[in-house]
Chains A and B, each alone.
Chain A
Amino acid sequence: MSALKIENVWKEYGDQIVLENVSLNVESRAFVALVGPSGCGKTTFLRMILGQEKPTRGTILLDGVPLPPEPGPDRGVVFQRYSVFPHLTVLGNVMLGKELKASPLSGKLFGAARKTAIEEARAMIAEVGLTGSEDKYPAQLSGGMQQRLALAQALIMRPKVLLLDEPFGALDPGIRHEIHLLMKRLWNETPMTVVMVTHDMREAFTLATRVIAFERPRDRPEEKLRYGATITRDIPIWPPRRAGAAA
């Protein structure tokens, strides 16, 4: 299970109020898209779930337990850029999570354990359609392939929640469509909740089970500092999409 409960969360940077009084319940296995104009704090909201930032006030619960104040393996992430490690091959990138988990001291696996990890990583690489590129470095991959790699790298950890920060924003429309199909399939097959930030409305409505809009209710210049953004719309997709149903 992987339900998120966000209770009266505020985020302030000094005098600047970015988010005010955000409350949200995300049921397990949901695919939530966060939309809104630039600078409305949707990425900040995602970072708070990730543990990269702390809420100034309020709490975020994952399955009823408050989130630890730093990122951890229960929450995977794919950023728009810099999601994969340039010094590791595709295989090395996907295996890294396994290696870190199994080997606290050296962070590397050897012998039979390494073989098992390689097999698992290869299966994951095949899952995202990167078979044949195992020995390439990220710089040799196209943008779309890099994001596929980032998904494989995150999903091999079997996170409860997958967080996506405009992951497909920099891709060509054709490539983006393909990776949308992949994303749908992965969400259907993997027991996880997805929260995605996007500025592409079509993407939000194509993928999500629920679209959440962030906006500043008061946006006059003199009000900007003291009033933050909050959730203004919460749109369930009809007919409802269910994870595990045929995509």
Chain B
Amino acid sequence: MRWINTRPSNGARLALAALPFAAVLVAYTIGSAARLAENANDKLLPGLAGFADAINRLAFVADARTGDIVLWTDTLASLVRLFSGLGIATAIALVIGMLIGMLPYARSLLAPFVAAISMVPPLALLPILFIALGLGEVSKVALIVIGVAPVMVRDLSLFALSLPREQVIKAETLGGSSWQIALRVVLPQTLPRLITVLRLQLGPAWLFLIAAEAISADSGLGYRIFLVRRYLAMDVIFPYVVWITLIAVLTDWLLDRIRLAVFPWSASENKA
């Protein structure tokens, strides 16, 4: 049989999916053991026991000075920033994206502007945000919004534009006004795409969040990583990176579940 026609069974699929993860883990363990054998105080590749110790210290034992459990306060602070930024960006993207996609006048007014804005490197704006908005939460949320909203607006406007012209004509022959067509025809079909584009922007959103926290914050996952970097505390940095990845993967998966649950028709659409 040709390679393109051979398919793994369910068990084989699981095993194959687990393989790269296991390979990374094994490679790390071997590397760590080799370095620790040479120098028991090596900080670059701590052993699993080192991680367990650090995770226990950060996630389960309250900080002696503040009484907070560091990992949870960091996570909460970061997630509030992340989801505020993503929420605002999503709202902006939905409204402006649909306006550009549906109304030729709005398109003429806004599309070139959004296209130009989306080319501004958001990190280059970070100093401006810190100067103008201060070092507090607002500037961090603003960075996420500026970073992800233009891309989302462009994606959604392209999507709304790509809806078959026949659908809009059909809605007009059913007596729909512009507002009604937006509400009953374009919006419901744009929402699943909105969720997908939100998933695609999770990565960039985390990037901007951690960049902002690295420069100025007093809590947050990015803040902690850059704080302990000074002490070469790899036993803290690695678990934090894994934790961030886990949260991101889980959010991504959850958003897709929500899309399929709320918009069941969008599943069969994908296959067509």
Contact = CB atoms under 8 A, between A and B. Distances in A.
Interface of A: 50-52, 70-73, 75-77, 79, 81-87, 96-97, 99-101, 104-108, 137, 139-140, 153-154, 157, 159
Nearest to B183: A107
Interface of B: 164, 166-167, 169-177, 179-180, 183-185, 188-189, 263-266, 268-269, 272
A96 B272 contact: no
Contacts of A99: 184
A86 B174 contact: no
A106 B187 CA distance: 12
A146 to B, nearest CB: 12
B170 A77 contact: yes
B180 A52 contact: no
A136 to B, nearest CB: 10
Contacts of A106: 183
Nearest to B175: A73
B263 A87 contact: yes
B6 to A, nearest CB: 30
B184 A96 contact: yes
24 contacts: A52-B169, A71-B172, A72-B175, A73-B173, A75-B173, A77-B170, A77-B173, A81-B166, A82-B166, A83-B166, A85-B185, A86-B269, A87-B189, A100-B174, A100-B177, A104-B177, A107-B176, A107-B183, A108-B184, A139-B265, A139-B268, A139-B269, A140-B268, A157-B175
Nearest to A97: B174
B265 A86 contact: yes
Contacts of A153: 170, 174
Nearest to A162: B173
Contact of A76 (B173, B183, B265): B173
B268 A137 contact: yes
Interface of B: prevailing SS: helix
A154 to B, nearest CB: 7
Contacts of B268: 137, 139-140
Given A82-B164, A97-B175, A104 B169 contact: no
B71 to A, nearest CB: 42
Contact of B170 (A72, A79, A101, A139): A79
Given A82-B164, A107-B184, A157 B272 contact: no
B156 to A, nearest CB: 16
A88 B174 CA distance: 14
A137 B169 contact: no
Contacts of B171: 85, 96, 100
B189 A157 contact: no
A70 B173 contact: no
Contacts of B264: 137
Nearest to A47: B169
Contacts of A73: 173-175
